[in-house]
Homo-oligomer: A and B are copies of this chain.
Amino acid sequence: MTGVASQASLAAQVVNAIHTTIGSGPVALHEPRFAGNEWLYLKECLDSTYVSSVGRFVDRFEAELVEYTGAKHAIAVVNGTAALHVALQLAGVERGDEVLIPALSFIATANAVMYCGAIPHFVDSEERTLGLDPAALRRHLELIAELRSGKCVNRDTGRVIRAVVPMHTFGHPVDITGVQSVAHDFSLVLVEDAAESLGSTIDGRHAGTIGVMGTLSFNGNKTVTTGGGGAILTNDPALARRARHLTTTAKVAHRWEFLHDEVGYNYRLPNLNAALGCAQLEQLPDFIEAKRRLFHRYRSAFSEIPQTRIVEEPRGCRSNYWLQALLLDDSAAAQRDEILEATNGAGFMTRPVWTLGHRLQHFSQCPRMDLSVAESLERRVINLPSSPHLVR
């Protein structure tokens, strides 16, 4: 296809640029790679007969997450949604509270808020990071919120705004310092949804370790997978203890008695899945290197197409480049679906970003600020095939 790009439609040019970067399809959006000790550890796990919610791979996986992220504590759970649910509960989110979350996020962020009986309050994004815009959030809160007895109250709804949950979109770090400052000034608990950003750092600090708690995901489409899995990160030993307790049905330790001292959850990661995770973590630096190479190749290929650019990590940050994102100019936004058709038709799996939270019928009545940037991004973002083994 090379050579005809300049004469071709934008959609054809995009197909061509992907082809130049990764060769012929069919190619999935993101596939895991099992090139290390996966089989060995799974076999070891089976041989031990400990495949369920206790076992040495769970301990080891948590210890390795602690070492890799620099968080003081990691609690492995069944998935990223469960991690967020428990983190929000531990953040003190109660029935009837509001929680500030980006309108531009996977559904898990809003669902976790709902599981607490709370209400998502949708916040706009900034184009630079694709994440929550702290300056715009500050202006919004100055207009609608006030501190009453140390709590941030939404004057419009009368509800307490308890927490803010920025998300590091596609692995690109949000402006966490900015969010931290807003959280401080408005007395909000900062919980980082770091589901997509294992391996991403901000000024050398790992995503998810800057808020009071952070959450990771190891779903099959993530940089590192455990089949299904997630983790809660925190530096606070009391929160870590509570997280461990709540995720193991709030069972009180005893040689044989079954005592539970509150309503808990069956949320711990099985040892079998942790075994896979241990093998995957060993390859994480290689995966990220491969993803960064892929980014450079895409960037080079798409530099020939003026109406497009590949999203880059914000300055001062290191992104894991989990999912490569193509950003269309305003002038090209109308061609988004044509590009999706053409790329998927050519065997290159692509997709738009998630439908914004406030545009889902059941969240349409939730409080929100002006969401112009998120709405613009929704029209212009296309994720490209991003598996770590696509380029050498």
Contacts and interface: CB of A to CB of B under 8 A. Distances in A.
Contact of A227 (B251, B273, B340, B362): B273
Interface string A340-364: 1000100000111111000011100
Contacts of A256: 340, 344, 350-352
Contact of A108 (B46, B80, B249, B361): B249
Given A34-B46, A249-B107, A81 B265 contact: yes
Contacts of A365: none
Nearest to A34: B46
Nearest to A349: B256
Interface stretch (A144-152, A218-226, A325-333): A218-226
Contacts of A352: 256-258
B259 A227 contact: no
Contacts of A228: 52-53, 78, 266, 268-270, 273
A355 B259 contact: yes
Oligomeric state, in number of copies?
2
A262 interface: yes
Contact of A344 (B255, B259, B351): B255
Interface string A270-296: 111100100000000000000000000
A129 to B, nearest CB: 20
A79 interface: yes
Contact of A220 (B43, B47, B107, B270): B270
Contacts of A49: 31-34
A5 interface: no
A82 B77 CA distance: 14
Interface residues of A, number: 64
Interface string A217-245: 00111000101100000000000000000
Contacts of A251: 107
A295 B107 CA distance: 48
Contacts of A39: 42-43, 46
B52 A266 contact: no
Contacts of A108: 249, 266
A111 interface: yes
Name which of A39, A260, A269, A355 has the most chain B CB atoms within 10 A of its CB.
A260
B42 A264 contact: no
B51 A111 contact: no
A273 B51 CA distance: 10
B264 A111 contact: yes
A262 B111 CA distance: 9
A114 interface: yes
Contacts of A59: none
Name which of A31, A38, A225, A227 has the most chain B CB atoms within 10 A of its CB.
A227
Given A42-B46, A78-B78, A258-B355, 20 more contacts: A34-B47, A34-B49, A78-B79, A78-B228, A81-B266, A107-B251, A108-B249, A220-B270, A220-B271, A227-B273, A228-B269, A228-B273, A255-B344, A257-B352, A258-B353, A259-B355, A259-B360, A260-B355, A261-B360, A261-B362
Interface of A: 31-34, 38-39, 42-43, 46-47, 49-53, 78-82, 106-108, 111, 114, 117, 219-221, 225, 227-228, 249, 251, 255-266, 268-273, 276, 340, 344, 350-355, 360-362
Q: Which 7 A-B pairs have the closest CB atoms?
A: A52-B220, A227-B270, A227-B272, A256-B351, A81-B266, A228-B270, A258-B354
19 contacts: A34-B46, A38-B46, A51-B220, A51-B225, A52-B220, A52-B228, A81-B266, A82-B266, A107-B249, A108-B249, A108-B266, A111-B265, A228-B266, A228-B270, A256-B352, A257-B352, A257-B355, A258-B351, A270-B273
